[in-house]
Structure 1
Amino acid sequence: MTMKWLKTLGAGLALSAAATAAHADTLRVATDPSFVPFEMMDQATGEMIGFDMDILAEVAKRSGFEYDLSTMDFNGIIPALQTGNVDMALAGITITEAREEIVDFSNPYYDSGLRILVRANNQDVSSISDLEGAKVGTKIGSTSYNFLQANLEQDENVTPYPGSSDMYMALMSGAVDAVFYDAPNVGYFSSTRGQGRTKTVGPLYEGQQYGIALKQGSPWLDEVNAALAGMKADGTYQSIYEKWFGTMPGSQ
Structure 2
Amino acid sequence: MHSILFIFCVCFLAISCSAISDNIDKKVVLSIGVDPAFPPFAMQENENRVIGFEIELMQVIADKNDMKVEWKNIPFNQLISTLKKGQIQAIMSSMKITPNRSEIVAFSRPYFHSGLAITIRDGDKKIKGLQDLKNKTIAVQIGTEGAREAEKILGAKVSKFSSIAIALYQLKNGNIDAVLNDVALTLHAIKIGNLDGLKVIDELLTQEYYGIALPKDSEYLEPINDILEELIIDQTYENLYRQWFNSEPLTLPKIAANLE
- Give the shorter-chain TM-score range: 0.5 to 0.7
Aligned to 2:42: 39
CA, structure 1 residues 231+202, in 2 after alignment: closer, same or farther (shift >3 Å)? closer
Equivalent position SS for 1:54: helix
Q: Are 1:193 and 2:193 counterparts?
A: yes
- Output one character per residue of 1:9-68: Cα deviation in whole Å (capped at 9) or x when no partner: xxxxxxxxxxxxx9x9441320443332x334558x974333222111112223424322
Aligned to 1:137: 140
Equivalent position SS for 1:203: coil
Aligned to 2:33: 29
Shift of 1:183: 1.2
Which residue identity is paired with 2:33?
V
Does the 8 Å CA contact 1:33/1:71 hold for their aligned counterparts? Answer: no
Runs (5+) with no aligned partner, structure 2: 1-25, 252-260
CA distance in 1, matches of 2:202, 2:247: 22
Runs (5+) with no aligned partner, structure 1: 1-21
In structure 2, which of residues 90, 105, 108 is the aligned counterpart of residue 106 of structure 1? 108
Segment drifting more, 56-65 vs 45-54: 45-54
Equivalent position SS for 2:117: strand
CA RMSD, Structure 1 to Structure 2 (Å)? 4.6
Pairing 1:33-72 to 2, within 5 Å after superposition: 33-36=37-40, 38-42=41-45, 47-63=49-65, 64-70=67-73, 72=75
Report the TM-score, using the length of structure 1 for normalisation. 0.59
Aligned to 1:205: 205
Pairing 1:1-252 to 2, within 5 Å after superposition: 25-36=29-40, 38-42=41-45, 47-63=49-65, 64-70=67-73, 72=75, 77=76, 79-84=77-82, 86-117=88-119, 127-129=129-131, 130=133, 137-138=140-141, 148=149, 166-169=163-166, 172=169, 179-193=179-193, 195-196=195-196, 200-201=200-201, 203-244=203-244, 245=246
Equivalent position SS for 1:48: strand
CA distance in 2, matches of 1:221, 1:188: 29
CA distance in 1, matches of 2:30, 2:211: 20
Aligned to 1:11: none
Report the TM-score, using the length of structure 2 for normalisation. 0.58
CA, structure 1 residues 226+206, in 2 after alignment: closer, same or farther (shift >3 Å)? same
CA distance in 1, matches of 2:42, 2:82: 22
**Larger Cα Rg: Structure 1 or Structure 2?**
2
Shift of 1:137: 3.1
Shift of 1:202: 7.4
Does the 8 Å CA contact 2:113/2:207 hold for their aligned counterparts? Answer: yes
Quote the sequence identity (%). Answer: 21
